[in-house]
Amino acid sequence: LSSLPSTAKEAQSLYGGGVDILMNNGGVSTRSMARNSNFDVDKFVTNVNYLSYVALTKALLPSWENDPDKREHIIINTSSVAGKIGAPVRTAYSGAKFAIMGWFDAFRIEQVLLGYPIHVLNVALGSTQTNVARNSITTSPDETFGSTDTNIESGLDPNFAVERILAAAYAKQDELWIAPKKEMLLMYLNQYIPETSKKILIKAVAKTFAVEKKDNVEGEGRDNEL
């Protein structure tokens, strides 16, 4: 995080006219229940997924606010469906993605009140065909999940997602939901019938929970035998 302000300055000097668009797209996911992952996971994910966005924004903000030409500037933040719905087994990831939404929603209003032409687009992105699952961390920042899952494999084409995001930024939308159909339906249910979406989530992760619970019980039994 400490290196990001100097990185922002390098970008500004590289482009003589300064930086007009900031795309905050850094991210690492998790694949472990909160009880099984150590606190370093929460700190690591929060730094990468949330605080890096804030650090880069604050590094660029003075030059944007003092721009003599009063040009419009755009911030695009890649959040997640998990930033709109609490996602089990992705607890730290979900928390950081919620933080993005909250911080930048408040920041957007502040800029309007101050009269600066800075537009903020928050993107609730669903499963996309990337290595996000494979590179997810589990019980510690050094342990990776190492495999993908069916939701990612059948997820959005990254090129399609980029086109939609750029179109939304051009249209000056505040928020964009873009996800496969089932995930979009879940977001709408969560907004209007939250109890129903909770039941669906519980059912979806019940099998994973049962496996983890069994492993924990067996492990405790082995420890007792020793």
User: Rounded to an integer, what distance in angstroms lies between the CA atom of residue 77 and that of residue 23?
Assistant: 6
Residue type, position 210, single letter: A
Q: For residue 117, which phi and psi values (nearest 5 degrees)?
A: -80, 65
What b/e string do you get for 24-55 counting C-beta neighbours within 10 Å, with b at 16 or more? beebbbbbbbbeebeeebbebbbbbbbbbbbb
DSSP 57-125: HHHHHHHHHT-TT---EEEEEE--GGGTS--TTBHHHHHHHHHHHHHHHHHHHHHHHHT--EEEEEEEE
Q: What is the DSSP letter of 176?
A: E
The single residue of 15, 93, 116, 192 carrying the catalytic annotation is 93
First to last CA, the chain: 44
Give the C-alpha distances (Å, rounded to integers) separating 173 from 30, 116, 163.
29, 17, 14
15 is catalytic: no
Half-sphere exposure of 77 (CA within 13 A, CB side): 33
Catalytic residues: 93
